[in-house]
Amino acid sequence: MTAAVMAQKAPSSSVYTCTDASGQHLTSDRPIPQCQDREQRVLGPSGMERSRLGPALTEAEMAERLEQRRQAALLQQREKEQRRRDAALLARYPDRRSHDAARRDSLQTIEEQQAMVQQRLGLLGREQAQLQQELEFYAKDPGKAPARLRTSMQEVDQEMQEQRLLLQGHQDDARRMHNRFDAELQRLQPLWNPQAGTPPRP
């Protein structure tokens, strides 16, 4: 704020007093320009101190103060959003039993998918062994092996590779699922038992 703006807002009955940089004691009925860099006392007509006027801010100080206010507003918004997420999480999982059940249900689907892939890999493994046994008949002269046999072997090898990649994907999904439920559990525990401590900050 500039001295002119402060002067417009100040009551006309106020008396401003300060000591400037040279040590001179100054008094005025409005903010004193020579003391913009220091604190000024604001007195009433009786001489009693009403308040104190802080030094005017430089552009850099004003920018710093605005940044501090912006950061405080962002923090307040994040805390408000975290409280909203906590409320939604608590409504979804009111206790440990409901959270554990949700974890089991989610993992059961992935485990069933893994079982199907492993079953398919078992069938392909037996088919591959049978084809390999047939190819051994042409071990001395592989060029005489029927094209159908070689093509079938390539197809089985390719599908086995695809199934292994699919199984790895399901395992990664299960790991991510566990990590998600672990993170939720860590957040939920203080919400379920508020007496045990304050919920962790986001």
User: Would you list the domain boundaries of the chain?
Assistant: 3-53, 57-92, 96-196
Find the Cα–Cα–Cα–Cα dihedral 125, 128, 130, 136, rounded to 10°: -140
Residue with tokens 């957040």: 187
Tell me the pLDDT tens digit for each residue of 175-199: 999 999 999 999 999 999 886 544 4
- DSSP-assigned beta bridge partners for residue 28: 16
pTM (2 d.p.): 0.55
For residues 144 and 166, give the distance between their C-alpha atoms in angstroms, rounded to a whole number. 35
pLDDT at 59 > cutoff 80: no
For residues 142 and 126, give the distance between their C-alpha atoms in angstroms, rounded to a whole number. 21
DSSP assignment string, 77-105: HHHHHHHHHHHHHHHH-SSHHHHHHHHHH
Tell me the pLDDT tens digit for each residue of 26-53: 999 999 988 988 889 999 888 899 998 8
Tell me the pLDDT tens digit for each residue of 9-28: 444 588 999 998 889 999 99
- Distance (Å) of CA 27 to CA 6, 47, 51, 134: 16, 12, 15, 111
Task: Note the Cα 19 to chain centre separation in Å.
Answer: 51
| Contacting residues for 138 by C-beta, under 8 A, at least 6 apart | 144, 145
